């Protein structure tokens, strides 16, 4: 689909009345949602989109427009062009953050939200939360060093290990999942620069949202990510927080049955 002067690839399955749009996180693309497709498509229209610069599509520039603002605008234009009425947005990590900003700006386009550990650091405001976040982010130093040295595949592997708090975790991934992440390695330098420029969100802003939401977090996730999930759910007035047992940051892939159950239960209430 062509939106805002760029082509976005997407996958769709099912032709039910209601549409569920899945938004991937960083270092990934629409393929990350394969374990959710079969759980959703029988009763809803499954749509997984790849955001600009991610995936294997050729770039129309050198990444000058890589930003969360670009991704929010593209996602909104994509939903409008689908022309399926208000959708449910399901996002993971950076995709959850981006989906939430889109819903804040255009609540008429969104029926509900399912957000897996959005890393909204602006919601961590107490001294203890800020100290914990700073301590967690120290672990990103090897990722940055590898990226600055041009070793983007290594940076991708290191990031996967860091974000899941699981040394060696990347090497344990299925070959297809590893390939998907490495296909997105070219975005690593752009993501590291852009991360500090994400759109800040305050609790007072989230309190204005009236659509129902579910926020999920892995029981084994990094403390900063769990705290950000807690804060997101606490600030959303119609939100339910779900802890996924045995999962880290990548809960939809690590514990698909539990995540899909939470997703299906939520969709059944709409």
pLDDT band (50, 70, 90) for residue 75: very high
User: What 3-state DSSP class applies to 174?
Assistant: coil
Q: Note whether residue 157 is domain-resident.
A: no
Identify whether the C-beta of residue 123 lies closer than 8 Å to the C-beta of residue 203. yes
Residue environment code for 150-184, b if the CB has 16+ CB neighbours within 10 A, otherwise e: eebebbbbbbbbbbbbbeebbeebeeebbebbebb
State percent of the chain over pLDDT 90: 96
Q: What is the pLDDT of residue 15?
A: 86
Mean pLDDT in residue range 235-256: 98
Alpha carbon distance 215, 237 (integer Å): 12
Range of the domain at 248: 2-126+198-269
Q: Is residue 160 part of a domain?
A: no
Gyration radius of the chain over CA positions? 17
- Residue 43 inside a domain? The answer is yes
* Residue 129: how many other CB atoms lie within 10 Å: 18
Confidence class for position 248, pLDDT limits 50, 70, 90: very high
β-strands 45-49, 87-92 pairing: unpaired
Confidence band (pLDDT; 50, 70, 90) for 194? Answer: confident
The CATH number given to whatever domain includes residue 117 is 3.40.50.1820
The pLDDT tens digits for 213-244 are 999 999 999 999 999 999 999 999 999 999 99
Q: How many domains does the chain have?
A: 1
Evaluate if residue 196 carries a pLDDT over 80: no
For residue 230, being part of any structural domain is answered with yes
Is the confidence at residue 6, as pLDDT, over 80? Answer: yes
């Amino acid at each position: 689909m062509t939106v805002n002067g760029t082509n976005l690839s997407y996958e769709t399955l099912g032709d039910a009345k209601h549409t569920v749009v899945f938004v991937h996180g960083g270092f990934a693309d629409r393929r990350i949602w394969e374990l959710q497709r079969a759980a959703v498509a029988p009763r809803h229209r499954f749509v997984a989109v790849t955001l600009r610069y991610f995936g294997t599509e050729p770039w129309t520039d050198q990444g000058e427009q890589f930003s969360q603002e670009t991704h929010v605008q593209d996602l909104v234009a994509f939903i409008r062009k689908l022309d399926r009425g208000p959708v449910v947005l399901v996002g993971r990590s950076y995709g959850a953050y981006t989906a939430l900003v889109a819903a804040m700006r255009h609540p008429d386009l969104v029926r509900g939200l399912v957000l897996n550990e959005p890393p909204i650091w602006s919601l961590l405001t107490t001294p203890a939360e800020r100290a914990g976040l700073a301590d967690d982010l120290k672990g990103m130093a090897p990722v940055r060093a590898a990226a600055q040295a041009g070793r983007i595949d290594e940076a991708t592997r290191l990031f996967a290990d860091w974000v899941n708090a699981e040394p060696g975790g990347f090497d344990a991934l299925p070959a297809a999942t590893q390939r998907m992440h490495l296909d997105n390695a070219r975005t690593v330098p752009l993501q590291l620069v852009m991360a500090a420029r994400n759109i800040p969100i305050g609790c007072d802003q989230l309190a204005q949202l009236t659509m129902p939401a579910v926020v999920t977090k892995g029981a084994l996730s990094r403390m900063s990510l769990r705290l950000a999930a807690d804060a997101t759910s606490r600030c959303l007035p119609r939100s339910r927080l779900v802890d996924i047992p045995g999962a880290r940051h990548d809960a939809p892939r690590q514990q698909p049955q539990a995540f899909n159950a939470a997703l299906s239960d939520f969709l059944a209430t709409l």
